[in-house]
Structure 1
Amino acid sequence: MWTVCVPGWAAAVVAGALLLYGSIDVAYFARMMYTVAKARYFKKKVCIMDTTEVEAWCLVNDIDTLLYHMNNARYLRELDFARADFYERTGLYANIKAAGGAVVQAACTIRYRRFLKPFTKFTITSKAIFWDDKTVFMEHEFIGPGGFVHAIAVCRQRVIDTSAAAIAELLLQLHCGGSCKHPPEKMPPELELWVQCNELSSARLRAPTAPLPVLDTTHTLGCGEMVPAAVE
């Protein structure tokens, strides 16, 4: 009969590793540190109007119970790494912190167009599509082989205790002296509709017993036409 002797220190290491992996998402934090370090020290700094890219793979720990494609929740997880890369390379996060502010994600909507199969390499693009004093709106695309956009997400990054518009303008001046393309002056139509949807939801949650504003839907909307203002 075989007897296996395991040193006490080895047993302690194994037990510690199991406890660590069972308590926190080690892979997430390790990858986040890698993403931030790579963006900070090894990637080129970019303008806040530029589009950044990060590459990733759909691995076995990303697939759903059908074992056929990437789990829907994993797309949102991947956005954390894409956003961290954008923050570091543009200097957005560092300048918000330097101004005494903070940034949190206030809303996110994702649309899935085609699933990503296991062991597929994909690219996530990130760009700022609009900002105001309180918010930076970002758009992300999941681009697979052949350039097909498998999913597209819109995120609302709420900036606290400082002005997002002032920080963005500062970054434009620091990076390119205002010589890059001009920032958007108004929201894209689809973004404005999305913001209206979020505001209606917020109003309902703040006053669940109060009547909601009623949108004027007496006429059919054409392509790109905005929803009329709410009628009290």
Structure 2
Amino acid sequence: MYYTNWRQKPRIPPRRGKHYNMSTGEHIGPPMTISVYPPTRVSKRLGKIFGNDHSIKEICQTSIDINTYLPICLRPVLYSTLTDRIKHRICSANSVVHLVRRSQVQNQAVIRPNDKIQLIDDLSTNRNYNFVLLGDGRLICSQVPHGKYQYACQLLSKHVILAGCSHDVRFAGEMRKSDNSEMLLINNSSGTYQPDDRMLPNAVAYFQRLFPHVLVQGTSRC
């Protein structure tokens, strides 16, 4: 499952509250590029019918070294049953991943202003978002489908689709904004990569460095 054995936990920096540096007007957290891949026309129509957002958000930053927090590269977990293995091989095949990605979102991303507060505010309070962390500093997320047709649309938000067949996945799970919008909850719920529970505190610390204006908290798997 891992390239190496589990390493000793790195030092976790202290958490900062929502209004950290708000009075001074300084930049909050590291500089980053926020890109949004809008849904294709077909995907957008399906989203309106099923009530789901099929866009993909990608956050890039190079100021914080993810190796300090999550040094282990994750591989997709081998399933025990033959049926699950066949389904996994089909869904994780490069051609299938790229086909699903092209059918879901446009190739050209829309670059947004470096506004982390607005980014968190845009997350719906009653929705879960799948996310992956890659070794190059990217955070990629998409809303988890919900409602009557959620199972038919789940392929569009799978972690392997978000990762784009990357061999440098450091963490995968779900995130959700609290009802008061002051807390970001994350877990390690990923059937494909299944991060160890011991990795969750380090993922929380990494998220806290990215978004110091909100309190990040780890939760159990859904």
Q: TM tier, shorter chain? A: under 0.3
TM-score scaled by length of structure 1: 0.24
Higher RCO (Cα < 8 Å, 6 or more apart): 2
Larger Rg, first or second structure (1 or 2): 1
